[in-house]
Amino acid sequence: MNGNALLNIGIFGIFVAATLVVVIRASRNTKTAADYLAAGRAFTGPQNGIAIAGDYLSAASFLGIAGAIAVNGYDGFLYSIGFLVAWLVALLLVAELLRNTGKYTMGDVLAFRMRQRPVRAAAATSTMAVSFFYLLAQMAGAGGLVALLLGITGKGGQAVVIVVVGALMIAYVLIGGMKGTTWVQIIKAVLLIVGAGVMTVWVLAKYGLNLSTLLGAAVDNAPKAGEKLLGPGLQYGATGTSKLDFLSLALALVLGTAGLPHILMRFYTVPTAKEARRSVVWAIWLIGLFYLFTLVLGYGAAALVGPDKINAAPGKANSAAPLLAEALGGPLLLGLIAAVAFATILAVVAGLTITASASFAHDIYANIIKKGEAEDKDAEVKVARRTAIVIGIVSIVGGIAANGQNIAFLVALAFAVAASANLPTILYSLFWKRFNTSGALWSIYGGLAVTITLIVLSPAVSGKATSMFPTADFDLFPLSNPGIVSIPVAFILGYIGTVMSKEDDKEKYAEMEVRALTGVGAEKAVAH
Amino acid sequence: MSTSEQHTPAEAQGSHDWVEVQDSPDFRELRRRLRSFVFPMAGLFLAWYLMYVLLADYAHGFMSTKVIGNINVGLILGLLQFVSTFAITTLYVRHANKNLDPKAEKLRNELEGGQA
Secondary structure class of A218 (helix, strand, coil): helix
* Higher per-residue pLDDT: A279 or A237: A279
Does position A457 have pLDDT exceeding 50, yes or no?
A: yes
Cα-flanking dihedrals φ and ψ of residue B72, to 5°?
-105, 175
Cα-flanking dihedrals φ and ψ of residue B68, to 5°?
-125, 120
| ipTM for this prediction | 0.90
CA distance B81 to B102: 31
pLDDT at A401: 80
B81–A211 CB contact, under 8 Å: no
Average pLDDT, chain A: 86
Are A348 and A133 in contact by the 8 Å Cβ rule? The answer is no
Does position A3 have pLDDT exceeding 50, yes or no?
A: yes
Q: How would residue A429 be classed by pLDDT, with cut points 50, 70 and 90? A: very high
**CA proximity to A357, closest of A182, A173, A107, A186:** A173
Question: Which residues 14-43 on chain B approach chain A with CB closer than 8 angstroms?
Answer: 16, 18-19, 21-22, 27, 30-31, 34, 37-38, 41-42
Q: In sequence order, which ranges of A365-466 are alpha helices (DSSP H)? A: 377-402, 407-417, 423-431, 437-456
Average pLDDT over residues A166-185: 84
Does position B95 have pLDDT exceeding 50, yes or no?
A: yes
Cβ neighbours of A216 in B, within 8 Å: 69-70
Q: How would residue A288 be classed by pLDDT, with cut points 50, 70 and 90? A: very high
pLDDT tens-digit map of B52-87 = 999 999 999 999 999 999 999 999 999 999 999 999
Q: Look at the pTM and tell me if it is higher than 0.80.
A: yes
pLDDT at B2: 36
Cβ neighbours of B99 in A, within 8 Å: none
B98: exposed, middle or buried (C-beta count within 10 Å: 0-12, 13-18, 19+)?
exposed
Domains annotated for chain A, with CATH where assigned, are: 2-25+32-404 (1.20.1730.10)
Q: How would residue B114 be classed by pLDDT, with cut points 50, 70 and 90? A: low
Task: Count contacts between A and B (CB, < 8 Å).
Answer: 176
B82–A291 CB contact, under 8 Å: yes
Min distance A1 CA to chain B CA atoms (Å): 34
Average pLDDT over residues A275-295: 95
Does position B11 have pLDDT exceeding 70, yes or no?
A: no
pLDDT tens-digit map of A248-267 = 999 999 999 999 998 888 88
B10–A510 CB contact, under 8 Å: no
Does position A405 have pLDDT exceeding 90, yes or no?
A: no
Question: Which residues 82-101 on chain B approach chain A with CB closer than 8 angstroms?
Answer: 82, 85-86, 88-89, 92-93, 96, 101
The proportion of chain A whose per-residue pLDDT surpasses 90, expressed as a percent, equals 36
pLDDT at A1: 44
Q: How many degrees, rounded to 5, is the angle at CA A263 between CA A259 and CA A267?
A: 110
Range of lowest pLDDT (A7-11, A423-427, A484-488): A7-11
DSSP state of A64: I
pLDDT at A375: 57
Of the candidates B21, B42, B64, the beta carbon closest to that of A514 is on: B21
pLDDT tens-digit map of A337-353 = 888 888 888 888 888 88
* Higher per-residue pLDDT: A16 or A197: A197
Q: Which residues pair with B101 in a beta bridge?
A: none
* Higher per-residue pLDDT: A321 or A380: A321
Does position A227 have pLDDT exceeding 90, yes or no?
A: no
Question: Which residues 61-100 on chain A approach chain B with CB closer than 8 angstroms?
Answer: 74, 77-78, 81-82, 84-85, 87-89, 91-93
Nearest chain A residue to B114 by CA: give it.
A520
Sign of the CA dihedral running B44, B48, B49, B53: positive
B112 in reach of chain A (CB within 8 A): yes
B70 in reach of chain A (CB within 8 A): yes
Does position B100 have pLDDT exceeding 90, yes or no?
A: yes
B51 in reach of chain A (CB within 8 A): no
Question: Which residues 390-429 on chain A approach chain B with CB closer than 8 angstroms?
Answer: none
Q: Going by C-beta distance under 8 Å and a sequence separation of 6 or more, which residues neighbour residue A378?
A: none
Range of lowest pLDDT (A302-316, A374-388, B2-16): B2-16
B10–A511 CB contact, under 8 Å: yes
B69–A281 CB contact, under 8 Å: no
Q: How would residue A486 be classed by pLDDT, with cut points 50, 70 and 90? A: very high
pLDDT tens-digit map of A40-83 = 787 888 999 999 999 899 877 888 899 999 999 898 898 899 99
Of the candidates B82, B89, B107, the beta carbon closest to that of A91 is on: B89
Strands (E), A87-154: none
A372–B22 CB contact, under 8 Å: no
Of the candidates A92, A254, A514, the beta carbon closest to that of B49 is on: A254
pLDDT at A527: 66
pLDDT at A37: 76
Q: How would residue B14 be classed by pLDDT, with cut points 50, 70 and 90? A: low
pLDDT at B6: 42
Instruction: Give the range with max mean pLDDT: A26-35, A219-228, A455-464, A518-527.
Output: A219-228
pLDDT at A39: 77
Cβ neighbours of A510 in B, within 8 Å: 18-19, 21-22
* Higher per-residue pLDDT: A19 or A153: A19
pLDDT at A376: 62
Min distance B22 CA to chain A CA atoms (Å): 6
* Higher per-residue pLDDT: A194 or A106: A194
Cβ neighbours of A92 in B, within 8 Å: 37-38, 41-42, 88, 92
Min distance B113 CA to chain A CA atoms (Å): 10
Q: Which residues pair with A469 in a beta bridge?
A: A462
Q: How would residue A287 be classed by pLDDT, with cut points 50, 70 and 90? A: very high
Min distance A524 CA to chain B CA atoms (Å): 9
Number of H helices, E strands in chain B: 6, 2
- Dihedral, A235, A240, A242, A244 alpha carbons, nearest 10: 120
